[in-house]
Structure 1
Amino acid sequence: METNDIEHYKHRLVELRIEHRDLDDVITRLANDPLVDELELKRLKKRKLMLKDLIAHLESKLIPDLNA
């Protein structure tokens, strides 16, 4: 993997982690609202889970292959 790719992945990871954290804050606030739109809350939770999976995938790309 080239240095440019590594830097791109690291930058993307930072962006995704920020979005994931922000979504967590929004979900927490909405979950405490008795008038919350349950469908919107469900969509936000699904997006947060997708971000978590994407973060894990990018982190695994940055870990050097032990068999190399």
Structure 2
Amino acid sequence: MDTFEPSAIAARIAELRREHRALDERIDQLAANPVDELEAKRLKRRKLQIKDCIARLESMLIPDQPA
């Protein structure tokens, strides 16, 4: 992310949360029909990456505390 604008960060977080929900739904669909375990593992790994990215971005929105 090139800019550290709070509005840009918030927009990216919202986008990642939508992708996270979509992955969650797809993983649930695959769990109901466990044909492709490799795809489910890839989706779960991507979901964790998104969660980590959201956490990093959210921490960027928290102002630094003076010492």
TM range (shorter): 0.7 to 0.9
Displaced runs of 4+ in structure 1, greater than 3 A?
Answer: none
1:32 is displaced (CA, Å) by: 1.2
Q: CA RMSD in A?
A: 1.4
Give the drift of 1:66: 1.6
TM-score (norm 2): 0.88
Aligned runs of 1:1-68 on 2, under 5 Å? 5-34=5-34, 36-67=35-66
> Which ranges of structure 2 fall in alignment gaps of 5 or more residues?
none
Structure 1 portions without partners, runs of 5+: none
Structure 1 length-normalised TM:
0.87
Between the two proteins, what is the percent identity of the paired residues? Answer: 58
SS at match of 2:64: coil
Q: Deviations over 1:12-43 (max 9, x none)?
A: 00000000011001101111104x21110100
